[in-house]
A and B are shown apart, each in its own frame.
Chain A
Amino acid sequence: AQKVTQAQTEISVVEKEDVTLDCVYETRDTTYYLFWYKQPPSGELVFLIRRNSFDEQNEISGRYSWNFQKSTSSFNFTITASQVVDSAVYFCALSEVGFGNEKLTFGTGTRLTIIP
């Protein structure tokens, strides 16, 4: 069975600080995808990134960066120079591959509050 663990339930940082959100996953599949989604107070889930299990390159997109390490089954997300607009719940998710109807297994989420 697949499982995603986000041990940090809530994090608060002062604006402009860097913050890392942790994600640890379990799967028996050799091919899988990992995701991060952002859920602001308005409710919609905003797709941030997808990473497949064969691509361990880290990725940077503006103030966001992701560190994927298969050896530790982790896919951590760092926000650099945080801003108030980054306040949201962030979900890490894992997907089985194939069939086209991808089933996402979500972690329990990390509520991030950026203090002005």
Chain B
Amino acid sequence: DTEVTQTPKHLVMGMTNKKSLKCEQHMGHRAMYWYKQKAKKPPELMFVYSYEKLSINESVPSRFSPECPNSSLLNLHLHALQPEDSALYLCASSQDPASGRFNEQFFGPGTRLTVL
């Protein structure tokens, strides 16, 4: 299995809703990432988990709450979002942060989120 999967593919939510995005990989990768991509813009890094611990938070608002329950799974919990949070949310993983070698990131297909 050489892919990163993301569910759901599409999500529409109101500003008072609570929802979660899910990302899964079974490549044995130990680093996982969340990116946000607005239309016609490049992806922007939100969070990085390394060995299930949060290692990078790019000053993301607290209405986005990441969780890494195990090495294969990464969640992004959403609460009280704003319409400007509508975007494509991409998950990525890379192999071994402790290897000392460079590890390229493999991306999932994304979840297209619309906040009404």
**A interface list, Cβ under 8 A from B:** 33, 35, 37, 42-47, 50, 52, 91, 95, 97, 99-104, 106-109
Task: Write the B104-115 contact mask toward A (1 if CB under 8 angstroms, else 0).
Answer: 111111101000
Q: Is B110 a contact partner of A44 (Cβ separation < 8 A)? A: yes
B residues near A43, Cβ cutoff 8 Å: 88, 90, 109-110, 112
**CA A106 to CA B107, docked complex, whole Å:** 14
Residues in chain B within 8 A of chain A (CB atoms): 31, 33, 40-43, 45, 48, 50, 55-56, 88, 90, 92, 94, 96-100, 102-110, 112
Query: Is B102 a contact partner of A101 (Cβ separation < 8 A)?
Result: no
Q: What's the Cα separation between A108 and B94 when bound, in Å?
A: 23
The distance in angstroms between the C-alpha atoms of A43 and B92, with both chains bound, is 13
* CB pair A108 B41 closer than 8 Å: yes
Whole-angstrom distance between the alpha carbons of A45 and B94 in the complex? 14
- Residues on the A chain within 8 Å of B43, using CB: 45, 91, 104, 106
In the assembled complex, the CB of A60 is this many whole angstroms from the nearest CB of chain B, namely 19
Is the CB–CB distance between B45 and A103 below 8 Å? yes
Pairs across A and B, CB under 8 Å, 26 listed: A33-B102, A35-B104, A37-B107, A43-B90, A43-B110, A44-B90, A44-B109, A45-B107, A46-B107, A50-B104, A95-B102, A100-B94, A100-B96, A100-B98, A100-B103, A101-B33, A101-B55, A101-B94, A101-B97, A102-B94, A102-B104, A104-B43, A104-B105, A106-B43, A107-B42, A109-B41
